[in-house]
Structure 1
Amino acid sequence: MIMKLSQLKLTTPYRELDPIFFDEVEPTPLKDPFLISVSKDAAKLLGVDEDITKDENLVGILNGTYSLEGSDTFAMCYAGHQFGHFVYRLGDGRAINLGKVNGQNLQLKGSGLTLYSRMGDGRAVLRSSIREYLMSEAMHGLGIETSRALALIGSDSDVTRQEREKGAIVLRLSPTWVRFGTFEYFNFRGEHARVQKLADYVIDESFEHLKDVEGMYVKMYEEIVRNTAITIARWQSVGFNHGVMNTDNMSIDGRTIDYGPFAFLDDYESGYICNHTDVDGRYSFKNQPGIAHWNLHKLAVALSSIVNHDRALEILDKTFGTSYEEEYLSIMYKKMGLYERDEKDIELFKWMLGSLESATIDYTKFFRTLSAYDGDKKNILDMAVFQTPLSEWLDAYDERLKKETLSNEKRHTQMLKTNPKYILKNHILQEAIEKAQQGEYSMIDELLIVAHSPFEEHLELEHLAKATPLKSKNIKLSCSS
């Protein structure tokens, strides 16, 4: 029998926790909803066999008017450090959980008011929904742990932000929606029994191999540290700036979640700040590893009733830096096409980043072009505003390549598997958004194709890898969604 999306049977294990962990709430449907796009790749995670676009109940599932069997909807409660300041009660302000199937928790974002909406309206606008939908899938395509996005609907419902916009809903998937801030909430309240109960839930959901293992809470924290470090290293390697690394936006299993004012670097700029609300640059591109460490320290505080705090800090200081550096350097060596290690490689690598910044050159295009470099500097230097710093580095790079044993052809083949051609930069996302706001949605599906296979050549979609216009380079975005 072919399994349809609307035939899925959900469970709600999170609701087996105490009622204080969540609030029962029903989605509030949008007016005149319509399907914009689906990710058939994400649908595979649910065990759905049929093309989900053929499911007559798809829009109803996203709009909250069709209930899947076993679904018992709720919003999750949590706290968090926002821009370094603790807020004791946050929660799913515009996200409503449907339940779990095949190891994936289904969640509607933009589905209406919840107990935790505070001054918000519980809605998400088309603009931000397109960004989250596409970026969730793009990060997966880049090999970075992330929540996924199954489908996106638009509507005729008006939502007020700086101006009136149309409301939309994304159906998101994740193996867990527990956050650092979920532990912070119960630790702040002094409810240590519930901290332990939540830890037991997290082990069941995300670290099952640790269940009933001696010292399982300590080992859980160590894995959270390692997973987070690896994810941040992968962000840095592709030039991704999250923009809002609050502890309530940090997944307990280390994956990327909650795509707000994110950005990929255009020209390489280590101090780039993508969120214009971030006036002090707390969440700048270069600060992300340090902020992840800071957030993990706050998690250690939240777990201190079940994990010795001094022991947690030892783990943090030992594991985070090592895991981050190993992952980051491993990727960067591959991006540079260096497979034989040399003691001076770190110096060459740092020199490269400094040269990229001095040269004013597109980060993604530099590495993609480097993947075909054969000693002729022209193609690379033509992309740079200031050529001398990069030319001098390329001289040193030429000398270093003489120590490699791989042929140029094999080296280039390997580099092309590490250096993506298609990155969903803000200027290309904005183009898709502006078309969608005029009722033209085809570009969203085009971007979905390259998001799923960013290392491949898509000749018919070559325009999606075009250079960023000068006026759109490294712009800042709003948190408004």
Structure 2
Amino acid sequence: MKFSDLKVTTPYLELPPLFYDIVEPTPLHKPYLIATSPACVKLFGIDEPLDLDGQLIDIINGTEKLQGSKTFAMCYAGHQFGYFVPRLGDGRAINLGKVNGQNLQLKGSGLTLYSREGDGRAVKRSSIREFLMSEAMYGLGIETSRALALIGSQTDVAREQWEKGAIVLRVSPTWIRFGTFEYFKSRRKYDMLENLADYVIEESFPELKDQEERYFKMFTKIVHNSAKTVACWQSVGFNHGVMNTDNMSIDGRTIDYGPYAMLDDYEANYICNHTDMEGRYSFSNQPPIMQWNLSILANALSPLVNIIKMEKVVEKDFVNIYESEYLRLMKNKMGLFEEDEEDVALLKWLLGSLESSVVDYSRFFRLLSHYDGDKTALLELCEYQQPLQEWLESYDTRLTKEKLSCQERSKQMFGINPKYVLKNHLLQQAIEKEEAGDFSMINDLLKVALDPFFEHEELEYLNVPTPKTYKNLKLSCSS
């Protein structure tokens, strides 16, 4: 079966018209295929290579449709940098329909009712970044939206300068956001709020259907999922950059890759978004911001669920689940698989030492996976060695409590600490090569992104230290 043979349904359009706007994509000029994800294709049972489908570009560009498709944009509100915006919506995303439990969506496909002062477009550089990082998060085992394919074009798009437009064909089990609930709560459309909650249960939490207190149980699951996702972000060193409530998926997965970054040197208060002047969405602030976003969602659901009950879940469950999941992940990264009451202190000490020593976060943990007592290689990563030297001495003592041999511990750690991480300097190189007509680095990055723990000796050029001028850069929201 080919991708163009898929038959989609549009269950979201069974909701009242206030939820969406029927809209046609606006095609790009002279579209061309940049990349496809062979891993994402597997979600659809497609047995023909995606890039051989002659209709693929036309479907992404909106000049052809999948069978059953009726294209639409979704309406929602949201808190942006802490301030409520009563109507946002899919300003440059258009939905194609649903198949195999996945909602297909075009990002950058033109104006919608919700574009406000925007142009409905996405530029090529940000589209390449979203395409690659969506699949990289999947490769790291983190819940995320996916990217099926990416096209470029000769359409001019005005940002800080003139750039070329692109469209990402992205997929997710749901595109409903915290802000979708905020929209109907703010308008006091409580019947619509209930319709939405029922739809979310049907789409994302079907096991709750017909249960008593199903809306409260739905909220509890959202809290739990969101806590686990942000724990994963912190463990791998991912900074989302724009944790507005309209960018938060209702099932807790990672969506909307804007000015994100993977940490270079460990810097707890790193801010990847240069628009974020006050550091609201800094790396270390992500867990409390997720908790704040969940409190906003609780308020949006308050016409359906007792607010006090939900606030207790946000206050207690979120913190407990986040802290336990983060500790579990970090202990695994350190190769500590036995229980020890001093491990929390050891972890805090390590993070402080990494920052004081000025050490690349992901390279440190991958090299720690090789550790056999010889500190030389690890210390050579440091700009200042003393803080990490002292920590390693305590780490040696802690390792004596482990039951696994050094070789067994290393094997476990190699499957936890990725060798390949999509740092911004690599993404920028791939973008610059694509502009010159060379797509090879995008495909190479996709390969390691989908299998980041493997050695990939032929792609060793992607496992290089970040040049100093590229370390922990701030990026633009503009895309």
**Pairwise same-fold verdict (TM > 0.5):** yes
In structure 1, the residue matched to 2:167 is 169
The Cα shift of 1:318 comes to: 1.9
The Cα shift of 1:315 comes to: 1.3
- The reply on whether 1:277 has 2:275 as its aligned counterpart is yes
Once residues 479 and 201 of structure 1 are traced to their aligned partners in structure 2, the CA distance between those partners, rounded to angstroms, is 31
Which of 93, 96, 100 aligns to 1:95? It is 93
The Cα shift of 1:50 comes to: 1.4
1:171 partner SS: strand
Alignment of 1:354-393 (within 5 A): 354-393=352-391
The Cα shift of 1:292 comes to: 0.2
1:182 partner SS: helix
Alignment of 1:314-393 (within 5 A): 314-393=312-391
- The reply on whether 1:429 has 2:430 as its aligned counterpart is no
2:221 partner SS: helix
Which deviations, in whole Å up to 9, do the C-alpha atoms of 1:393-431 show, x marking residues without a partner? 000001111111100000000001100000001010000
| Segments ≥4 residues shifted beyond 6 Å | none
In structure 1, the residue matched to 2:56 is 58
In structure 1, the residue matched to 2:226 is 228
In structure 2, the residue matched to 1:417 is 415
- The reply on whether 1:70 has 2:50 as its aligned counterpart is no
In structure 2, the residue matched to 1:294 is 292
Once residues 301 and 253 of structure 1 are traced to their aligned partners in structure 2, the CA distance between those partners, rounded to angstroms, is 17
Q: Which amino acid aligns with 1:196?
A: E
The Cα shift of 1:37 comes to: 0.4
Once residues 41 and 335 of structure 2 are traced to their aligned partners in structure 1, the CA distance between those partners, rounded to angstroms, is 35
In structure 1, the residue matched to 2:38 is 40
The Cα shift of 1:340 comes to: 1.1
Once residues 318 and 350 of structure 1 are traced to their aligned partners in structure 2, the CA distance between those partners, rounded to angstroms, is 22
Gaps of 5+ in 2: none
The Cα shift of 1:316 comes to: 1.3
Which deviations, in whole Å up to 9, do the C-alpha atoms of 1:282-332 show, x marking residues without a partner? 000000000000000000000001011001001111210111112111111
Once residues 45 and 425 of structure 1 are traced to their aligned partners in structure 2, the CA distance between those partners, rounded to angstroms, is 27
In structure 2, the residue matched to 1:439 is 437
1:436 partner SS: helix
In structure 2, the residue matched to 1:306 is 304
1:183 partner SS: helix
Q: Which amino acid aligns with 1:464?
A: L
Alignment of 1:139-288 (within 5 A): 139-288=137-286
Count of residues in correspondence between the two structures: 479
The Cα shift of 1:205 comes to: 0.2
Once residues 52 and 342 of structure 1 are traced to their aligned partners in structure 2, the CA distance between those partners, rounded to angstroms, is 49
Once residues 467 and 337 of structure 1 are traced to their aligned partners in structure 2, the CA distance between those partners, rounded to angstroms, is 23
Once residues 19 and 357 of structure 2 are traced to their aligned partners in structure 1, the CA distance between those partners, rounded to angstroms, is 51
In structure 1, the residue matched to 2:114 is 116
Once residues 332 and 312 of structure 1 are traced to their aligned partners in structure 2, the CA distance between those partners, rounded to angstroms, is 29
2:302 partner SS: coil
Once residues 313 and 348 of structure 2 are traced to their aligned partners in structure 1, the CA distance between those partners, rounded to angstroms, is 27
2:195 partner SS: helix
Q: Which amino acid aligns with 1:343?
A: E
In structure 2, the residue matched to 1:469 is 467
The Cα shift of 1:136 comes to: 0.2
What RMSD, in angstroms, separates the aligned Cα atoms of the two structures?
0.5
Once residues 326 and 143 of structure 1 are traced to their aligned partners in structure 2, the CA distance between those partners, rounded to angstroms, is 18
In structure 1, the residue matched to 2:78 is 80
The Cα shift of 1:215 comes to: 0.6
1:98 partner SS: strand
Once residues 100 and 86 of structure 1 are traced to their aligned partners in structure 2, the CA distance between those partners, rounded to angstroms, is 30
The Cα shift of 1:465 comes to: 1.2
Q: Percent identity?
A: 66
Once residues 135 and 221 of structure 1 are traced to their aligned partners in structure 2, the CA distance between those partners, rounded to angstroms, is 28
Gaps of 5+ in 1: none
In structure 2, the residue matched to 1:129 is 127
Which deviations, in whole Å up to 9, do the C-alpha atoms of 1:82-122 show, x marking residues without a partner? 00000000000000000000000000000000000011000
Once residues 163 and 200 of structure 1 are traced to their aligned partners in structure 2, the CA distance between those partners, rounded to angstroms, is 44
The Cα shift of 1:341 comes to: 1.0
Using the size of structure 1 for normalisation, the TM-score is 0.99
2:154 partner SS: coil
Q: Which amino acid aligns with 1:136?
A: S
Alignment of 1:442-453 (within 5 A): 442-453=440-451
Q: Which amino acid aligns with 1:404?
A: E
In structure 2, the residue matched to 1:480 is 478
